[in-house]
Chain A
Amino acid sequence: MDKRSITNALAAATCTLLGSTAPEPVLAQEEPGWSFNTSLLYYGEDDDRVQDLSLKTLSKRTFVDDRYLSLGLTVDALTGASPNGALPQSVAQTFTQPSGKNTFTTPPGEFPLDDTFRDTRVAITADWEQPLGRLWAMNIGASASKEFDYLHLGLNAKISRDFNNRNTTLSGGFAVAMDDVDPIGGTPTGLTQMLPVGDLSNRRGSESKDIFDVILGVTQVVSRNFLMQVNYSYSDSSGYLSDPYKILTVVDGVTGDAVPLLPLFPQDQGPSHLNYFEHRPDSRSKHSLYTQGKYYMNGKVLDASYRYMTDDWEIDSHTIDVRLRWPVGGDKYLEPHLRFYTQTAAEFYQLSLIDGDPLPEYASADYRLGDFDAITLGMKYGWKTGGGNDMNVRLELYRQSGNVSTSQLIGNQVGRDNYPDLNAIIFQFGYKFGK
């Protein structure tokens, strides 16, 4: 009889004498119950552009055996709009509103935007997570969101397996989304002219797009205080990928100024200059490589990530994101945040169309498809309340600046502001309570 069997025999004998059986091993797991993560966000852009007030909640129900249900709700109240793609001119410009029912006028030297824009967005998510046996885990989810002119429906699933004493986790997942775009006034036909008020002859009904995403990931524990993740993702979009509200100015090939339009009838209300609706390809494939590291140093935690993205619209981007969580006594911490982003322009991005030139197959002057750099600087402060709940506030500044090479500029465009640089402020208050 070896030592272990003697121990077992003694334990069994003791339990018998005490009138009980040997206890089952207990695995550590979270207690069942609800936890709530809530936040109030203000996002505001300068120059009367987009303002968003957003309320978010994420409710998580923990069940026995490491099973979780997460329910998310977001309500956004949006006002203001992004520049519509037209170039500023030395004279005032009038445009037909997207509804086709009215016009708006932009003063000289300003980026045109339709400031009558209002929208409410409601988004819901539901996720179920559970282990499958000892080493596998799965997650399935659904999402939906609705705006005045947009409907999103999506499903996703993910599966993971632990290896190497749970130091390595491999995961794979996919997501599908079916979105409908139903622009106010109808969807404009790409690369057709913006028409006078009441003329909707180049508008048609709603459009749709489908998005298919795949993600593969490795999470690795490197050491006691160092964790890393690497993800590869592929995304394929097809269908209507244009922005129905974005246009391009048609300019004179020598002066670079917008071509003026004379109304057919004096009573006609309509655009003062010639503009065309943008037109993007009906498919897009993106590849991304993302890596993140978390490093613990004497109570401080460094969180750094890098993402490379490339797509078949010839957009390449690099994103670096660094946060440092710095405890400042008790349960309080400060977290400075720095993010840097840079992207190249889509192959069909152009500032304007030239009057008289044959129309290209695709064209967009949407600044989000241009060549630009962006930087975010932020600070977060978090603390525990008397009841043991978590609160935090963060303030961030986001700045985008475009890179327009002078070779793209025609005549009077040189010396004008041709790219709508963006400055935004992000203020968020977060409160987490429950188990």
Chain B
Amino acid sequence: MQYGILIAGLFVFVALSGCSSMGVEPWERDILAKEEMQLTTDPIEAATDDHIYFSKEASSGGRGFGGGGCGCN
């Protein structure tokens, strides 16, 4: 649990201090607003891949929650 709190604290610290100098102004978001620049461009394809690899490999999640919900013989 302590490990988790430490990681959470580190995340907040790095994000709010290190990242504050990066970024764009609101009127510079034309490219970032494009559909192909979203982190998950195709949610169905992402869910399909997560399910296939969850069934066939010993790792899952990362992008989101660990997935699962299958016997996956």
Binding site for B on A (CB under 8 A): 37-39, 41, 43, 50, 54, 56, 58, 72, 74, 81-82, 117, 119, 121, 123, 143-145, 147, 149-150, 152, 154, 156, 163-168, 170, 172-173, 175, 177, 179, 181, 211, 213-225, 227, 229-235, 243, 245, 286, 288-290, 292, 294, 296, 301, 303, 305, 307, 309, 311, 313, 315, 317, 319, 325, 333, 341, 343, 346, 368-369, 374, 380, 392, 394, 398, 400, 422, 424, 426, 428, 430
Closest to A232 in B: B7
Binding site for A on B (CB under 8 A): 4, 7-8, 11-12, 14-16, 19-20, 22-26, 28-32, 34, 36-39, 41-45, 47-48, 52-53, 56-66, 68-71, 73
With A296-B37, A343-B59 as known contacts, state yes or no: A232 contacts B69, CB within 8 Å: no
19 A-B pairs with CB atoms under 8 Å apart are A58-B43, A117-B73, A123-B69, A147-B70, A152-B70, A167-B24, A179-B68, A215-B64, A219-B39, A221-B24, A224-B32, A231-B63, A286-B66, A290-B63, A294-B37, A296-B31, A307-B63, A315-B59, A374-B56
Closest to B24 in A: A224
Closest to A333 in B: B36
Residues of chain B contacted by A346 (CB below 8 angstroms): 58
* A307 in contact with B12 (CB, 8 Å): no
Cα–Cα distance between A235 and B31 once the two chains are bound (Å):
35
* A303 in contact with B41 (CB, 8 Å): yes
* A221 in contact with B48 (CB, 8 Å): no
* B44 in contact with A37 (CB, 8 Å): yes
Residues of chain B contacted by A219 (CB below 8 angstroms): 39
Other-chain contact of B58, A54, A292, A343 (Cβ < 8 Å):
A343
